[in-house]
Amino acid sequence: MQTKRRFEGYCLVDHSNSPGITNRQLVDNGMPIGVGRARYEAPTILCWHCQAVELVDSGRQKTPPYCSKCDQYICHRCSLVMKLTGECKPFTKVMDEAMELAARGQAVPIFNPGAVNGQAFG
Partner 1 sequence: MAKRSVNFENITLTAFADTANLTDATYPFLIQGGSGTQRIDIWEISIQGQSTSSAVTYTLLSRDSTVCITNSYGTAQMDAAIDASTAALAAVPLTGNTNTTKPQRSSTLHLLPLSINAFGGFADWKASPYAYPNTIGASASLGEVSFSAFTGGSGIVAGFCIYDVY
Instruction: Catalog residues that contact partner 1 under the rule CB under 8 A.
Output: 6-15, 17-21, 25-26, 28-31, 35-36, 44-46, 48, 50-53, 91, 94-95, 98-99, 102-103, 105, 107-108, 110-114, 120, 122
Q: Which of 3, 77, 15 is nearest to 43 (CA)?
A: 3
C-alpha to C-alpha distance for 34 and 41, rounded to whole angstroms: 10
Which of 28/63 has CB closer to partner 1?
A: 28
For residue 93, which of 73, 70, 116 has the smallest C-alpha distance?
Answer: 70
CB of 62 to partner 1, least distance (A): 18
Classify residue 23 as exposed, middle or buried by CB count within 10 Å of its CB (0-12, 13-18, 19+). Answer: middle
Q: How far is the CB of 60 from partner 1 (least distance, A)?
A: 16
Q: To the nearest whole angstrom, how small is the minimum distance from the Cβ of residue 94 to partner 1? A: 7
CB of 86 to partner 1, least distance (A): 21
32 burial type by CB count under 10 A (0-12 exposed, 13-18 middle, 19+ buried) = buried
- Cβ closest to partner 1, residue 18 vs residue 61: 18
